[in-house]
Structure 1
């Protein structure tokens, strides 16, 4: 009979120690150089836009993805097929292509459709006609990221919901819980432990993919870097600062999400 395996002692995160040391050295270097301070001050103006695009885009993508996932798990074959069509088509289009399509094809098509539907109200003088310029490039970029990521998030939600044992759902039915109550009280609290890690990965990925909005001229971190570099020809310094800021955001966010996962696991172990 083999002795029980010992719990493996957690390794010291040397990679994190090295990364923090490099970040501190870089911060000292930035603070001690007039050039790097100027570059950092310029590029940092785009942090607010990057955070706004990421948070709003991810929140909308999560809501849309959950809706698509529930359609994929519904009892209606039509809803399941519509959900599968949406997921497969959207996942097959690169985010950058989707960004261009939403910005320069989808937005004009939406405006044309809106004006067609509201034509009687416009003729009566109750509302003005909508023009393409009324939809800012910022919101076109957010909608593109929302649609693009919702297809991936829908699969994350679907897999997490399906991971819940069917016996618990049947027991909840026997207790007379409604479908909404079963989802809110039984399914979702258990599914979130499976959903959270890949959902966190998608959030970090959206932070990085938010840099794509710079192609539309949205003043995020990347766009501010492009503007400064094109005017000063300080490409090395500028894009080093851009990479540094993105690394601070993504690594810090990844560590926060891992800490949240560990906390949820401890709570589940105690319960």
Structure 2
């Protein structure tokens, strides 16, 4: 019986946790990133300052440090598992990069569109939601796609805090079987199961939007 067959349930469990953490972090980072991107382009100096500080802090601190902070420090105050700590850290870290991608998309839209929307009675929030953001996301799709793929790969950080993810389970299999090479080849293939379809979908969406432009 092959290593894969012997440990299929272990790999599958890790794959499930990796997929779940990636989905949670993807949705959360997209929401947070969009919010902080908008804050960076508002007329409010306070909002811009908060947005800039958030992005600069989480972009320039290693993901491992953020993860360990939640797992070792925050968990003393708010009880959380390694999976939760890793997913929160992954969300915050990725959201900073998404904020920059979305901000760049917003700034690429002609300023007159916002001015025209405000002149027609729309609030800043309404104009941003209905007119600016849909266009900004189209511009930012290639960059966002790269961030989403990086997010999936970065989810391996959960292994450092007992997050039961694919890398964590793989480390256990490698330690028990002493077949490190085969184990990590299998892990790499599992990651490709997530990242390749995501990559192809982003490319498809990008080509589709270009045709409709």
Question: What TM-score does the superposition give when structure 1 sets the normalisation length?
Answer: 0.74
Partner of 2:46: 78
Gaps of 5+ in 1: 1-32, 112-131
Match of 2:10 among 30, 42, 48: 42
2:56 aligns with one of 76, 82, 88: 88
Matches within 5 A, 1:32-181: 34-108=2-76, 111=77, 132=78, 134-181=79-126
Q: TM-score of the superposition, structure 2-length normalised?
A: 0.93
Is there any run of 5+ residues in structure 2 with no aligned partner, and where? Answer: none
The counterpart of 1:223, out of the listed 168, 172, 178, is 168
2:194 to 234, 249, 252: 249
Work out whether 1:266 is the aligned partner of 2:211: yes
* CA contact 2:71–2:80 (8 Å) conserved in 1: no
* Count of residues in correspondence between the two structures: 213
> If each structure's helix is expressed as a fraction of its own residues, which one has the higher value?
2
Q: Describe the superposition over 1:11-69 as per-residue Cα deviations: whole angstroms up to 9, x where unpaired.
A: xxxxxxxxxxxxxxxxxxxxxx6333324443122111111101101211111111211
